[in-house]
């Protein structure tokens, strides 16, 4: 990742250092007695380019850590700070004479200049989020993380782009939706006392999030994310499910005894707000997927695939002595450049195709 150069009004320059971290997919919040703003300047064409220069008014400095500033094939993003806790949004200027600029996200009063762009920096941090939230179905909320080669950060940056893992997690996400639907959790919001999130991973994750190694989640959340039970089903480079790096937050505090890596076949109980176990998940011993049971029912579910990079099937049997039957097969293809997610679900001899269109810069779902 190239480092941008800073230019203050007194023309002082320095290179932005880069920090590395490898922490499994947890966020952090810092309370500060200062003012922060950020923005993202997007190129017209994807590609490696020289770093830009940034002019800031007096009193403003850039946050140099990797999660706050960077250059990649798509954009330059940054977060700046002022020691005052009520500073007004500053007017900044990005000098990027060799790059055609498409747009600025997180800025107002945008003006093109001879060598770049000038604007009022208004976002509270660099708006680099690139996830789409699909419409809620009962208790289920699906969060789709979009990934672009060359945009990797953190521990993903110096590794090969995880193409297979990205394809597999998308297929597992929509197969998980099928499984939770068959179990009744998409029927109504009160089918689960709390929220059920199904979510993938992202290779570009500023602001303290370390989404590594590749995985997908099935999570139970309530009380403003102060109560969290999050599976992290870790994927191999062939899309196999290796283990569950489990994560539990209780009353806003991480439960270290329960937040541990769990091998295959270990049951993981997911409870609702009342403490009632609603379903139990296991990683299949052969790496082909995961299984689920619900207390009070003999029915068993499993997600399995010989090649999860292509598709994942939901199989159900009415009890342990019954044969497994394939109920549906899910496959999804994401085009983050065009902003199009295509999902195909084979069910009952028919194929249902969904096309979700989203803003290719912000990932906001389009009508």
What is the domain range of residue 115?
5-121
pLDDT tens digit string along 11-58?
222 222 222 223 334 444 445 589 999 999 999 999 999 999 999 999
Give pLDDT, residue 210: 76
Decide which of 73, 94, 121 is a domain's last residue: 121
Q: How many domains does the chain have?
A: 2
State how far the Cα of 258 lies from the Cα of 230, in Å rounded to an integer. Answer: 11
CA distances from residue 142 to 270, 316, 359 in whole angstroms, order as listed: 17, 22, 17
- End position of a domain, from candidates 99, 121, 143: 121
Range 85-108 average pLDDT: 97
Asked if 101 and 181 sit in the same domain, the reply is no
For residue 137, the model assigns a pLDDT of 98
Are residues 205 and 297 part of one domain?
yes
- In a shared domain, residues 57 and 169: no
Q: Are residues 30 and 163 in the same domain?
A: no
Residue 309 and residue 215 share a domain: yes
Q: Does any domain span residue 363?
A: no
**Predicted local confidence at residue 66, as pLDDT:** 82
Q: Answer yes or no: is 255 within a domain.
A: yes
Kindly state whether residues 43 and 117 are assigned to the same domain: yes
250 lies in the same domain as 353: yes
pLDDT digits (tens, 9 = 90+) for 243-273: 999 999 999 999 999 999 999 999 999 999 9
Average pLDDT over residues 142-157: 94
Say whether both 56 and 168 belong to one domain. no
Q: Which of 96, 121, 146 is the last residue of a domain?
A: 121
> Residue for token digits 């789709």?
144
- What is the percentage of the chain residues whose pLDDT exceeds 90? 86
Weakest mean pLDDT among 7-11, 99-103, 115-119, 298-302: 7-11
Tell whether 232 is covered by a domain. yes
Give per-residue pLDDT as tens, 299-355.
999 999 999 999 999 999 999 999 999 999 999 999 999 999 999 999 999 999 999
Mean pLDDT over residues 146-161, rounded? 93
Same domain, 107 and 190: no
Residue 170 within any structural domain of the chain: yes
Bridge-based pairing of strands 140-145 and 75-82 is: unpaired
209 pLDDT above the threshold of 70? no
Residues 177 and 270 in one domain: yes
Q: Does one domain contain both 116 and 254?
A: no
State the pLDDT at residue 33: 82
| 338-352 residue pLDDT tens | 999 999 999 999 999
Measured CA to CA, the distance from residue 154 to residue 65 in angstroms comes to 11
pLDDT of residue 158: 87
Determine, yes or no, domain membership for 81.
yes
Is residue 250 in a domain? yes
The angle at the Cα of 243, spanning 242 to 245, to the nearest 5 degrees, equals 140
Q: Is position 343 within any domain? A: yes
* pLDDT of the residue at 254: 97
Distance CA 295, CA 200 (A): 26
User: Is residue 365 domain-resident?
Assistant: no
**What percentage of the chain has pLDDT greater than the value 70?**
90
* Whether residue 290 sits in one domain with residue 328: yes
Instruction: Walk across the sheet containing 277-283 and list its strands.
Output: 268-271, 277-283, 289-293, 300-304, 312-317, 325-335, 340-347, 350-357
Q: If you average pLDDT over every residue of the chain, what do you get? A: 91
């Amino acid at each position: 990742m190239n480092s941008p150069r800073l230019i203050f009004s007194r023309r002082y320059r320095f290179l932005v250092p880069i920090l590395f971290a490898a922490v499994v997919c947890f966020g952090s919040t810092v309370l500060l007695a200062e003012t922060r703003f950020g923005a993202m300047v997007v190129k017209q064409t994807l590609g490696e380019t020289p770093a830009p220069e940034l002019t800031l008014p007096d009193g403003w400095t850039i946050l140099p850590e990797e999660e706050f500033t960077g250059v990649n094939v798509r954009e330059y993003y940054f977060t700046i700070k002022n020691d005052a806790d009520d500073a007004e949004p500053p007017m900044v200027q990005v000098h990027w004479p060799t790059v055609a600029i498409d747009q600025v996200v997180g800025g107002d009063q945008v003006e093109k200049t001879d060598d770049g762009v000038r604007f009022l920096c208004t976002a509270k941090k660099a708006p680099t989020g690139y996830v789409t939230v699909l419409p809620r179905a009962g208790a289920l909320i699906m969060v789709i993380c979009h990934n672009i080669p060359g945009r990797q950060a953190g521990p993903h940056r110096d590794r090969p782009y995880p193409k297979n893992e990205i394809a597999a997690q998308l297929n597992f996400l929509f197969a998980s939706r099928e499984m939770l639907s068959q179990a009744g959790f998409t029927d109504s919001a009160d089918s689960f006392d709390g929220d059920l999130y199904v979510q993938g991973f992202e290779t570009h994750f500023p602001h303290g999030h370390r989404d590594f190694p590749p995985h997908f989640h099935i999570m139970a959340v309530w009380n403003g994310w102060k109560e969290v039970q999050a599976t992290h089903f870790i994927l191999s480079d062939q899309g196999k499910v290796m283990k569950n790096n489990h994560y539990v937050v209780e009353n806003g505090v991480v439960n270290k005894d329960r937040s541990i890596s769990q091998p295959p076949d270990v049951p993981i109980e997911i409870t609702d707000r009342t403490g009632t176990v609603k379903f139990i998940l296991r990683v299949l011993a052969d790496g082909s997927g995961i299984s689920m049971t619900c207390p009070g029912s003999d029915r068993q579910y499993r997600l399995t695939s010989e090649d999860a990079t292509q598709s994942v099937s939901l199989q159900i049997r009415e009890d342990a002595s019954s044969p497994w039957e394939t109920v549906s097969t899910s496959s999804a293809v994401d085009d983050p450049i065009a902003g199009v997610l295509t999902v195909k679900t084979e069910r009952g001899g028919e194929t249902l195709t969904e096309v979700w269109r989203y803003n290719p810069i912000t990932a906001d779902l389009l009508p």
